[in-house]
Amino acid sequence: MLSSPATAPILARLRAETRPYHDAVEANEFNQALAAGTPSEATTARFLAKMYGFLVPYEVALLGHAAALGPAWEVPERRRAHLILEDLHAAPDQLPLCPALPPLATVPQVLGAMYVLEGSTLGGQVLARQLAKAGSDLRRYFTGYGERTGPRWKAFGQLLAQATTDANEEEIVQSAIHTFQQLAAWLARP
């Protein structure tokens, strides 16, 4: 029987051990403006541009591991950087790319990064509603997978639970921590 994502031991461990790093990511200018109810289009656009710069190299690494992960992971469907281009009406060469991603050479490293970026789809839906209330049209990226967001997160949690072993669990957790750290540093860069 499959573990539910809410009870899978790896998800509980990831949630607990990455909490301070998750909080550091949320301390960025965009989230502060949202919390204050004052997200400007410029602040939102800067955040989206930064996310694009992080997602593109991550998605290249993720696609490089698609065969090893297998079709159940729906790797091609989990790419979202293109949604930011739609939001910003920008060409890919107009946005800077993050020069320092966490290591993504192994499947466990990719799984740790996936935890961070797939988890962001859940929070993104909340952000999309807040942006809608604020009258912002820059919401496509934040809607994640739309009505498939919850089911896709649940599937990710089940697959992650199946893929986690005593031999790779620590590498997955450390990769998630490094992903949060690198993302926070990238978002904080001017």
User: Does 158 reside within a domain?
Assistant: yes
Question: What is the per-residue pLDDT for 9?
Answer: 95
Question: What is the per-residue pLDDT for 44?
Answer: 94
User: Does 1 reside within a domain?
Assistant: no
Dist CA 17 CA 21 (whole Å)? 8
CATH, residue 151: 1.20.910.10
User: Does 182 reside within a domain?
Assistant: yes
Two tokens at 153? 């997160």
User: Does 2 reside within a domain?
Assistant: no
**Of 101, 116, 111, whose CA–CA distance to 185 is shortest?**
101
Average pLDDT over residues 99-127: 96
User: Does 126 reside within a domain?
Assistant: yes
DSSP string, 104-153: --SHHHHHHHHHHHHHHHHHHHHHHHHHHHTT-S--TGGGTTGGGHHHHH
Q: Work out how many domains the chain is built from and give that number.
A: 1
Which pTM was predicted?
Answer: 0.93
> Which has more pLDDT, 4 or 65?
65
Average pLDDT over residues 63-78: 97
Q: Give the range with max mean pLDDT: 3-17, 38-52, 159-173.
A: 159-173
Dist CA 30 CA 25 (whole Å)? 10
- On whether the CB atoms of residues 160 and 6 are closer than 8 A, the answer is no
User: Does 4 reside within a domain?
Assistant: no
Q: How confident is the model at residue 5 (pLDDT cuts 50, 70, 90)?
A: very low
Average per-residue pLDDT for the chain: 93
Q: How confident is the model at residue 7 (pLDDT cuts 50, 70, 90)?
A: low
Average pLDDT over residues 59-74: 98
Which domain does 87 fall in, by range?
9-188
Which residues, 6 or more positions from 5, have their beta carbon under 8 angstroms from its beta carbon? 11, 153, 154, 156, 157, 158, 160, 161
User: Does 56 reside within a domain?
Assistant: yes
Indicate whether 13 pLDDT > 60: yes
Sign of torsion over alpha carbons 110, 78, 92, 131: negative
- Percent of the chain scoring above 70 in pLDDT: 96
User: Does 81 reside within a domain?
Assistant: yes
